[in-house]
């Protein structure tokens, strides 16, 4: 199946929602055949006894630089509609670099609220949050593809707090309640999402 970019109107709608909410759920981006191949390839990386020596696997459920392991992982970096969305969100100087995986088995998870990368636009305590009328520049974005169904929270692994990118802070971890000082509070349990 040839993958093509979204049309201009759909792309702009996605970009606007991403900029407003800090994430977007796009179902059906991968085909069943792609999911099966990626799952098999990921299992092969984790089953490789040399993967830790090559620094492709660094803990029980994380692997990085998969483009070194198989061309299908490299091809995901330029796959449509991913690459055209990345270029639209990040601009002409877009660089795709990580190509990693988190493989959650039962009982394995990052189970605390966190930001995946740097806090690029922090705010002091006396400023409650960035003005949501402005677009915060996208410096780093993640594309996450859920390769298994996530019918309930017990299956994890991803929850997001829409609008939390405006908080200018890392999340407070008080139990399982996602709270930011910026006043944004919500729970979403997507099967697949794009987020920053």
pLDDT per 10-residue tile (average), the chain, 196 residues: 85 95 91 94 94 89 92 92 93 83 77 79 92 90 86 71 87 54 34 29
From CA 94, how far away is CA 89, in angstroms rounded? 9
Predicted pLDDT of residue 2: 57
Tell me whether residue 2 is in a domain: no
| 79 SS3 class | coil
Strand-pair partners of 102: 62
From CA 94, how far away is CA 86, in angstroms rounded? 7
Predicted pLDDT of residue 177: 45
Tokens of 22: 């800090």
Task: Provide the residue range defining the domain that includes 77.
Answer: 8-195
Tell me whether residue 77 is in a domain: yes
Task: State the CATH number of the domain containing residue 29.
Answer: 2.60.120
Tell me whether residue 43 is in a domain: yes
Half-sphere exposure of 29 (CA within 13 A, CB side): 22
Tokens of 182: 């910026």
Predicted pLDDT of residue 110: 72
Q: Which of 80, 77, 79 is nearest to 95 (CA)?
A: 77
Tell me whether residue 180 is in a domain: yes
Q: Which of 79, 43, 85, 74 is nearest to 61 (CA)?
A: 43
Predicted pLDDT of residue 104: 79
Predicted pLDDT of residue 148: 85
Predicted pLDDT of residue 74: 92
Tell me whether residue 3 is in a domain: no
DSSP labels, 6-60:
PPHHHHHHHHHHHHHHSEE--TT-S-HHHHHHHHHHHHHHHH-TTTTTTTSB-SS
Tokens of 3: 């993958």
From CA 103, how far away is CA 105, in angstroms rounded? 6
Tell me whether residue 72 is in a domain: yes
Number of structural domains in the chain: 1
DSSP labels, 111-161:
-S---SS---S---TTS----TTSPPP-S--EEE---S---SGGG----B-
Tell me whether residue 1 is in a domain: no
Tell me whether residue 162 is in a domain: yes
């Amino acid at each position: 199946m040839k993958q093509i970019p979204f049309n201009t109107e759909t792309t702009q709608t996605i970009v606007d929602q991403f900029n407003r909410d800090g994430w977007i759920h796009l179902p059906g981006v991968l085909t069943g055949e792609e999911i099966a191949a990626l799952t098999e390839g990921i299992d092969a990386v984790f089953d490789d006894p040399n993967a830790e020596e090559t620094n492709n696997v660094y803990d029980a459920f994380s692997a990085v630089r998969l483009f070194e392991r198989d061309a299908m992982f490299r091809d995901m970096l330029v796959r449509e509609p991913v690459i055209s969305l990345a270029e639209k969100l990040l601009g002409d100087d877009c660089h795709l670099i990580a190509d990693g995986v988190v493989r959650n088995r039962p009982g394995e998870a990052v189970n605390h609220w966190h930001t995946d990368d740097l806090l690029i636009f922090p705010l002091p305590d006396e400023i409650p949050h960035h003005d949501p009328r402005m677009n915060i520049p996208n410096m780093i974005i993640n594309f996450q593809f859920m390769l298994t169904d996530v019918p309930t929270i017990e299956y994890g692994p991803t929850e997001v707090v829409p609008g939390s990118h405006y908080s200018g802070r890392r999340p407070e971890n008080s139990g399982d309640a996602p709270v930011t000082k910026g006043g944004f509070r919500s729970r979403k349990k997507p099967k697949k999402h794009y987020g920053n």
